[in-house]
Chains A and B, each alone.
Chain A
Amino acid sequence: MRQILRIAGPFLMIVLVAIGFVQLDPLAVLRGNAPPVEKLTIELAQINQGELKLRLRAESSEAMSVAQVQVDGAYWKFEQTPPGPLSRLRTAWITMNYPWVQGESHHITVLTNTGATFDYAIDVAMSTPDPASSLGWFLGLIGLFVGMVPVTLGMLFFPALRAAGPGIMAFVLALTMGLLAYLFVDTLSEAQDLAEKSAETLSIRKVVWLVALVTAVGLFMIGRRLGAGSGNGRGPAMLACAIALGIGLHNFGEGLAIGGAFASGAVTLGSFLVIGFTLHNITEGIGIVAPLTDQRPDLLMLCGLSALAGLPAVLGLWVGVQAFSTHWAAIALAVGAGAILQVLIEVGLLIQRRYLDSAAPQPLSSLLAGGVLGLVLMYSTSLIVTV
């Protein structure tokens, strides 16, 4: 009984203090008759035949009302679902019949009842694609060429890696480190870009860091439990899986970016761009098989690894062309960044065990050259495919 009181006591006091503060309202003198500063984020736009749909999220401390909507500088009839004032962090859809023009820009301004305005630009208008249409198949194919194909091509280096001497092996593992370091930075900055566009109140930029850290630590713990770091036979296979998973999540983000750029008209999916991505991602295949050189993986396992690393790009493309919530996409990429961070640590530990802790001469120059080359290779090939 006393124990319960000890725990409940502080909670009771918190509630009492809160009630007392609200009842006495000592801050009343600070409030003028001015309305609080309003904030509203237009999270996404869907463009359908003769129709524009926007999702709004209210961010003010007090409920706010959408009074009128301008499209291209003209008041336009709209419907709000659900109707009525929007309290903090609530969302609503605004739907308008609007004769939008394919390939041109449209500007939308939302007026609240206080006359505050919030703007949104559709840079290049085109119908929000339906993944079930022929476009969906086409995007799936693009996803395969961005994800599966390069990873599989990279894995074709496996026999050559097995035949290589220990100096080359150290070089390849360091190359993998460089590659993963690049992917970590790339995924995290992509996540931050998306967080920037999300509702400010949700503080997605912080969430991205936290999710990445929790994912990395969580996967690290799971890996320990399954024996990834140990010297036994399962270790290298587990590490290859972890690398494939991290790369897969990164490729999901890449698909998301390509799909989003395509849907917003920012990019034409020409063959040049697709080949660029294929080249860019070939190194990923080498990275996945690098820990397996002293193993004898069967074909099924190699196919599985390639699917794990490559297929998420297809999914990313499908999601990316839809009107999607930037905050969820940012969190998905944060998970990817965390997964990559974890394999970065695991590969680092592997290099430590194999080359730095051993009595044999340490291949320091090979490691340095491999790491730097990994970074340079990824960065330079990324220049042709920046979307």
Chain B
Amino acid sequence: MNFPRINRRHLLGTGLVGSWLGLIGASASAALATSSDTPKGHSPHAAGSMMTVGDVDPASNGFDPHSILTDWDRGVTSVDSDGRTVREFLITAEDKEIEIAPGVLFSAWTYNGRVPGPTLRVTEGERLRIVFRNNGSMPHTMHFHGIHGASMDGLTGAGEVEPGGEFTYRFDAYPFGCHLYHCHSIPLKRHIHKGLYGGFIIDPDPDLHPDLDPQAIAIARSRQHGTPENAIWQEMVMVMNGFDTNFDDENEVYAVNTVAHAYAKQPIAIARDRPVRIYLINITEFDQINSFHLHANFFDYHDHGTTLAPTSRTIDTVMLCQGQRGIVEFSFAGFEPGRYMFHAHQSEFAELGWMGHFEVVA
């Protein structure tokens, strides 16, 4: 019950007038002393209480945030008349209701029925053919962050696909790095935040860079999917996203790879002595920036992943604007096994779902 008309300060100041009512004054302070005895600290269960209630069933949702970490879509390859590798993908846009936090359903627009869409993983210099079918209810596009001609840009008027239609985006995979694709139909904010985005990773090909020194070649090989140098790395993609469930242009739910607290409730297992590489992408709408913070450790960061040497060394927090992405590399070698937290260092996002744990196992 609120009776907001009172001017509280005014009454506080005048509360002592009328000493003949001293009896009441005395009882009042006694009564207030009792009620201020209530605890100001944490109740016994409070530490683990800041969490969504329940679990999201990956089977009914159609995708599992734990699989999304590593389920690279490699497409189908062939060799063209020039002897170059052609890599072809089939992507279908569809409307789908997804569960973004336990019990909270969101009418999403998806690529291939999942949010984020498939993580396309290609090698530098390959010819890409992305066949895009639109089975959704709205016109959509695929706008790739990469190098391509104007007609392949995936905008209204350049590769936009009406419901029921199809378009093939053709371009070569440049530059190497950690990129993304998203729908660029208008209104843009809505087409993005409804779920139309995904990772687009171009692995470096050392053969295309004859001037590299041996150390740089080793680094490039370690980033190239399928090489022995790459196999020791524990790689994963994390797409930082948010969901505005009540259409007030603010997110009610934040996450990496869509499901709030998915990695907090079921931590990501990490072998302690093998290095970790995260392809980190920020596609959060409405909020200008998002961030990644690792507990108890530091990492090297390659902004956009377009360099082989880190752009920031030994940091534990990195800030990304909308559409920004990069590669995070670190190791828990020699660490005490246990749970290590990671989250957005915007506490607000962390408390609304963007928080997880690595389970470091010796």
Contact = CB atoms under 8 A, between A and B. Distances in A.
Given A115-B106, A387-B5, A74 B15 contact: no
B38 A387 contact: no
Between A115, A121, A137, A267, the greatest number of chain B beta carbons within 10 A of the residue's beta carbon is seen for A115
Interface in B281-324: none
B102 A68 contact: yes
A126 B79 CA distance: 73
Interface stretch (A92-100, A239-247, A310-318): A92-100
Contacts of B21: 145, 271, 274-275
Interface in A65-84: 65, 67-70, 73-78
A223 to B, nearest CB: 33
B1 A264 contact: yes
Interface in A368-387: 386-387
A270 B261 CA distance: 48
A323 B1 CA distance: 7
A272 B20 CA distance: 11
Interface stretch (B47-55, B80-88, B207-215): B47-55
Which 3 interchain pairs have the tightest Cβ spacing? A115-B245, A270-B15, A50-B43
26 contacts: A44-B1, A74-B352, A96-B49, A98-B46, A99-B39, A99-B43, A113-B104, A113-B105, A115-B243, A116-B245, A117-B246, A117-B252, A145-B24, A197-B1, A260-B3, A267-B11, A268-B11, A268-B12, A270-B16, A270-B17, A271-B16, A274-B18, A274-B21, A274-B24, A323-B1, A386-B6
Contacts of B353: 75
A272 B25 CA distance: 10
A77 B35 contact: no
Interface string A38-51: 00000010000111
A185 interface: no
B242 to A, nearest CB: 12
Given A67-B101, A266-B8, 5 more contacts: A99-B39, A126-B36, A134-B31, A142-B24, A273-B11
A107 to B, nearest CB: 13
Nearest to B103: A67
Contacts of B49: 76-77, 96-98
Interface in A285-324: 320, 323-324
B28 interface: yes
B4 A123 contact: yes
Given A272-B15, A326-B1, A386-B5, A50 B46 contact: yes
A114 interface: yes
Interface of A: 44, 49-51, 65, 67-70, 73-78, 96-99, 101-102, 109, 111, 113-117, 121, 123, 126-127, 129, 133-135, 137-139, 141-142, 145, 197, 257, 260-261, 263-275, 320, 323-324, 326, 386-387
A320 B53 CA distance: 33
A78 B39 CA distance: 19
Interface of B is mostly: loop
A106 to B, nearest CB: 13
Interface string B239-265: 000010110100010000000110000
Contact of B53 (A78, A127, A137): A78
B60 interface: no
A74 B47 CA distance: 13
B261 to A, nearest CB: 7
Nearest to B30: A134
B246 A115 contact: yes
Nearest to B15: A270
Given A67-B103, A102-B36, A387-B3, A51 B53 contact: no
A307 to B, nearest CB: 20
Given A270-B17, A275-B21, A73 B352 contact: yes
B289 to A, nearest CB: 17
B227 interface: no
Nearest to A101: B40
Contacts of B78: none
B358 to A, nearest CB: 21
B24 A264 contact: no
Interface string B337-362: 00000000000100111000000000
A75 B351 contact: yes
A109 B245 CA distance: 13
Given A68-B102, A133-B34, A326-B1, A117 B6 contact: no
A14 to B, nearest CB: 38
Interface in B209-234: none
A64 to B, nearest CB: 11
B3 A257 contact: yes
A266 B6 contact: yes
Nearest to B248: A117
Given A99-B39, A114-B245, A68 B3 contact: no
A326 B106 CA distance: 34
B40 A141 contact: no
A123 B2 CA distance: 8
B2 A74 contact: no
A257 B95 CA distance: 51
Contact of B102 (A67, A97, A101, A273): A67
A171 B238 CA distance: 82
Contacts of B28: 138, 269-270
